[in-house]
Amino acid sequence: MAAEYNYKYNVSLRIWNAGAFHQRITEVTGLLATDSHLKDTKHYPDGPPDWLWKHDLWELESPLPKSESWENHIQHIWEQIRPHRDFFSTIISGDVVADICLGCMTDCEAPILRVDQGALEIMRQLPLGIAFNYTPL
């Protein structure tokens, strides 16, 4: 009998080195970052004075339940940013880079994970890298 494993997924659009655009992203798109910080600011207000962020970050995380597939998370993010594709394409250039971060938590010791081709339209439309964050349960 095959073992049943637990999987929890999340997906974020992350834009690095775009601190000058954080406010403009919200003004143009109406989207609020789920996380953002500026380079050389503290990780935590009460943290050590030398524990500073090394890069600016603007992040939009899918709010869907972690039980949803990567495809559904990616599609949700794409639906939010697709109307603003040209704007995002303009700011993601030079030192400003962006990626889709695929997160997975599972109790499977050696997971094989995939994303269906249909969910990758965002990768074809924007200059995005891909990052993967695996966390054992």
- How far apart CA 7 and CA 67 sit, in angstroms, is 7
DSSP state for residue 20 in the 8-state scheme:
G
pLDDT digits (tens, 9 = 90+) for 12-50: 999 999 999 999 999 999 999 999 999 998 888 888 888
Q: What percent of the chain has a predicted confidence (pLDDT) above 70?
A: 99
pLDDT digits (tens, 9 = 90+) for 108-122: 988 888 888 888 899
- pLDDT computed for residue 89 by the predictor: 95
Q: What is the pTM of this model?
A: 0.91
Neighbour tally for 16: CB within 10 Å = 19
Residue bearing tokens 């943290």: 47
Q: Is the pLDDT of residue 84 over 90?
A: yes
State the DSSP H helix or E strand holding residue 90, giving kind and residue range, or none if neither. helix 85-91
- How far apart CA 124 and CA 129 sit, in angstroms, is 11
* Pairing of the two strands 57-61 and 7-16: antiparallel
